[in-house]
Structure formats: structure tokens, C-alpha cells
Structure 1
């Protein structure tokens, strides 16, 4: 009987903690960031610990990417700028240069390298930067929490398998 109670309790914990996955949280945060910023584009960029390389990790965009933000992001030099940046990066839109308008803010509290949350597709002002920074802080905490729950599930599965031997 005691083993049955342990198995049930462990299964309940694992099920409850498995509700959030980091990848799903990233997608939801990007979609919400686009809505908060009043644009259709948002995503995350990770900068390595040495601040030499930045790479896009997720992009929320409308079908077909009408503003061609995806190729602009990788080919414009903005990733190099983010790799060196400690603070927000704001670029004005420029139709002549096919630049969509861009705002990226650091994601504090998320311990993985130096991530940035970005939005694109219009001109952004200081108020947008402030709002997105606050959103990025909340997002960083959510990502930390989701990562912690994923780690807890792995540990609980180990406890459960050890206990059932």
C-alpha cells in the first residue's frame, strides 16, 4: 500500500509540473509581445556568454512574412549589434533600405546567456521600450519558472524510478 501512495503522489506531481514547457512559454511570450507592441512580429535572440555571437531562437510572424523580417534579421547586421549590446536596441523603419523598424530589450532573470526579446514592424518610441522592458522582465521570470519545473520533473522521474526498484 505505501508504494501505491508514493506512485500516485509522484505521478500527480509530475503531471502538474509538466504543464509548462519552455518552448511553449517562448511561443506564447513572443505572440503576446507582438500584441503588446502593436505589431505582428516578435521573437527571441540568444547572445553567447562571450558576446561574440547572436542567433535567433524563435520568431512569431504572420504567414508568409510579408515584411521579410526573417531574412532582414539574419542579414542586416542587427544580430552583431545585439551581441555587443548591454541595453535596448531601437532601429527606425526605413522603406528605402527595407528595414522594418526594430526594438530589442534584454531579458533579465533568465539565466541562459544574454537573451533579447525583440519586436519589429513599425517605428518604436521610448514608451514602447519601457513597456517591452517590463514585459521582458515578466517573461524572464516565466521562462525561469518553466525551466525550473522541467528540471523538477526530471528529478521526480529519477526519484520515482529509484523508488520503484
Structure 2
């Protein structure tokens, strides 16, 4: 039982999100990426992970909080693309839904340059792969909880 629990416990969802975000940055050719989670009623969006270079030169964390983009993502049901406009502090932004089976909606985003249709297509495909990985990690976490319950109640 211990070996099975140890094997299933190898994947941490937070580590996986970080790896997925870093890979999304590499795929999109930008230094910024992350995940935004939207509640089931689509009223609130929360940035759950941001990958940025040291010092966050574009101030993406602040921009996400102050730009209204989180509210826009809360209302969005499909990909959101924003062209960069340095005169008003718009960094260029592309977010696509992550098709996970959950009560909440999740977006994977990249930022820092102008994005086109090819970028959108590539990010959508990557988001689908990310969804499969996140779902698998979540299922492994659930399996570990069940196995710990079995171990706790097994006869001595």
C-alpha cells in the first residue's frame, strides 16, 4: 500500500501548473504565462499562477489585477486576445480556456507580444494537453486520499 501511495503521490498539482506555465511561455515565445480560475457562476476570476521573469519587468501581476482583464476572463467563454499597446500599458495578451472537467473554468494565458491566429491555435492545442495532465494529477490526488482511507481502516 505504501508503495502505491508513494507512486501516486509523485505529481503535485502546483508543480505541474508551474511546469505547464513555463512550457506555455516557451511554446508561445514569451516570458510571461499563467493560469486564471473563474468561478462556476462566472462572476469572479482569480489569478492562480503567474510565470514571469525575475523582477516582472512588464508588471504582469499588477496588470492582471488592475486592467480589468480578470473581469473580462470571468465573462469569456472562448479565447481572448489583446494587442499590445505600450502607450496605455497593454502588454499583448492571449488566453484560452483549459478544457477541464470541473465546476470552475480555467484559462491558460501568455503575454508580452503581439499574438496571431497561429499562436491562438497552438495555445489552444497546448491547453487541451494541459487539461489532460491537470485532470490526471487531480485523479491521482483523489486516489491517494482513497488509498490512505483504505490503509487507515484495514484490519490490523
Residue number in structure 1 paired with 2:95: 104
The TM-score with structure 1 as length reference comes to 0.92
* Alpha-carbon offset, residue 109 of structure 1: 2.5
Give structure 2 stretches of 5+ with no counterpart: none
Residue number in structure 2 paired with 1:134: 125
Residue number in structure 2 paired with 1:70: 61
Residue number in structure 1 paired with 2:15: 24
The TM-score with structure 2 as length reference comes to 0.97
* Alpha-carbon offset, residue 151 of structure 1: 0.6
* Alpha-carbon offset, residue 161 of structure 1: 1.4
Residue number in structure 1 paired with 2:106: 115
Q: 1: CA distance between counterparts of 2:41 and 2:9?
A: 32
- Of 137, 152, 157, 2:148 maps to 157
Q: Decide which structure has the larger Cα Rg and report it.
A: 1
> 1:54-105 CA deviation, whole Å, 9 max, x = no partner?
1100000001000111111110011111011010000000010111000000
Q: Would the aligned equivalents of 1:110 and 1:141 in 2 still touch at CA under 8 Å?
A: no
- 1:34 correspondence with 2:25: yes
